[in-house]
Amino acid sequence: MNASELREAVAQLLVIRASGHATDRQRRYPRWELSNEDLKQLLEAGVGGVILLGGTATELQQRCRTFQRWAGRPLLLCADVEEGVGQRFEGASWLVPPMALGRLHQKAPKRAVQLAEEYGRCCGNQAKRCGLNWVLAPVCDVNSNPDNPVINVRAWGEDPETVGELAGSFQRGLAATGVLGCAKHFPGHGDTAIDSHLELPVLQHSRQRLEALELQPFRTLIKEGVSSVMTAHLLIPSLDQHWPATLSPDVLTSLLRVDLGFNGLIVTDALVMEAISAQHSAGEAAVLAFAAGADLILMPADAIKAIDALCVALRSGRIPMSRLNDSLDRRKAALDSISIASDSASTDDDHRIETADERTLTLKLVQESLDISSSKTSSVAAINGINLIRVDGVLPCPVLPTEAPALSLPKSLGFQPVLCHPLGISPWEDPLNPLAPLALNRLGSGPVFLQLFIRGNPFQGNRSIREPWTEALKQLINANRLFGLVVYGSPYVWEALRDAVPPSIPAAFSPGQMPDAQQQLLQRLLNPASASVSTNEFTD
């Protein structure tokens, strides 16, 4: 093929980042989300995939149509919607995190497996209605490390059997919708205490340990026929002493292709992440990943430089042309396997994204994942107190819109909100001292209703998880100021704190942080008589 044909062929292997919003001014992360002009030029030049984030589900529909029109050829259109399309795009279903079903699996395994399949079907159907054809899920990492700052509740469980069974069930539900799935992050990101968005984690596990734990869910998903596998930015010396998994032929070709027999698409995790970009230029990272065995290059730091470098490597013989042909064939096979439904843009005449059954599933998953250890406040009178909320997510914070139940329901009882955030106010007397007490005088007077939104969050490390909340609870109890405790997100934080709360003080946990979870939990905790009946006690 000539130079122009080669460039267009190589471009098909790139997946670039775009905002779900229509205008450049609305981009939340302009550092990574290309402008419309750049997107149009790259898609017209042959770039074959787009990953989207942000906006509403109806905006997403239009964006997907626009990108397809600009490209003039079939695109891979994907999103990180591990917890439902509503996790990233308002107006769709935002489901509880997978770990919620992992906890349910401990007491009701059949029920958890059934719900995981419904979960996958919901993700796939809504993705398809919005114009997506590729869901970057399920997570197949086994969260064996409670201090994991980036996987945490994104995992389906803490042991390979649970993760394999639930992720496999999710994949069956997703596959039934005709949407591509993606098992990630190979060969397993669950036992890390470092966030690969920020630096390169190193796992010192033996091959025997990897076979027994990390690799098992991926074997299950490969047997289920998952369409793609995403790499992890991890250095595992027992597999490759020099190259991280994303750039390692020993991991991507020898282990994944040969030993595990995976024949689908291998896609890198985002190459803009610091674990890769801090050590390699945009062009060299793309070449190393492709030479190692990756088919698709996700979010290169510079798309043009990545295309240039790949073309040079192919023309020089550094990478054989057969690798390009193989990857293009796998990409075409994946696109050909996608079922294009005639109603892909809507479910009925009013263009709903979420069906009644999917709404029921959303609420059912919340109900079955709540843990209410006390409900002593059914007749709470109005009080003047503090609603102390700790949020460890990125800004803007989608779990706390202006009328979020975590703000509005306590306010109706007289609790005034005080929001603490890594980029804003600190709740501690000395923010630089990890053992500092709460700054009660600065925060205000009256009883304290403490709500902690803490889970593994990319780019946050585990700062909030390591904060001394057990000591803070004791401080509040000793001062006779603790009104109640709610933990949203990490079960590990909840398990560390719940025994410190006296039975007379209301306390509760929800793996989900979204407004639906807040509403159901707080109605039961603050006014149980008005809450719906829970199905949390279901057993097989």
Question: How far is Cα 50 from Cα 79, in angstroms, rounded to an integer?
Answer: 8
What's the longest Cα–Cα distance across the chain? 77
At residue 306, the 3 state secondary structure works out as helix
| Beta-bridge mates of residue 116 | none
User: Long-range contacts of range 427-430, CB-CB < 8 Å, 24 or more positions apart?
Assistant: 427/388, 427/390, 427/472, 428/467
Specify whether the CB–CB gap between 193 and 175 falls below 8 A.
no
Question: How far is Cα 201 from Cα 249, in angstroms, rounded to an integer?
Answer: 18
Question: How far is Cα 215 from Cα 232, in angstroms, rounded to an integer?
Answer: 13
**Residue labelled with tokens 């469980």:** 157
- Burial of residue 208, with CB atoms counted within 10 A of its CB: 0-12 exposed, 13-18 middle, 19 or more buried: exposed
Specify whether the CB–CB gap between 285 and 247 falls below 8 A.
yes
CB count, 10 Å around CB of 4?
A: 10
Cα-to-chain-centroid distance, residue 176 = 22
**Residue labelled with tokens 């030993």:** 259
In SS3 terms, 483-538 reads as EEEEEEECHHHHHHHHHHCCCCCCEEEECCCCHHHHHHHHHHHHCHHHCCCCCCCC
Catalytic residues: 197, 269
Question: How far is Cα 117 from Cα 169, in angstroms, rounded to an integer?
Answer: 5
CA atoms within 13 A on the CB side of 288: 21
> What are the phi and psi torsion angles at 205 (to 5°)?
-75, 150
Specify whether the CB–CB gap between 118 and 176 falls below 8 A.
no
**Residue labelled with tokens 């057990």:** 470
Question: How far is Cα 190 from Cα 152, in angstroms, rounded to an integer?
Answer: 8
Q: Which distant-in-sequence residues (6+ apart) come within 8 Å of 52 by Cβ?
A: 17, 18, 19, 20, 60, 63, 64, 77, 78, 79, 88, 132
Specify whether the CB–CB gap between 407 and 387 falls below 8 A.
yes
Question: How far is Cα 278 from Cα 66, in angstroms, rounded to an integer?
Answer: 33
Question: How far is Cα 96 from Cα 226, in angstroms, rounded to an integer?
Answer: 22
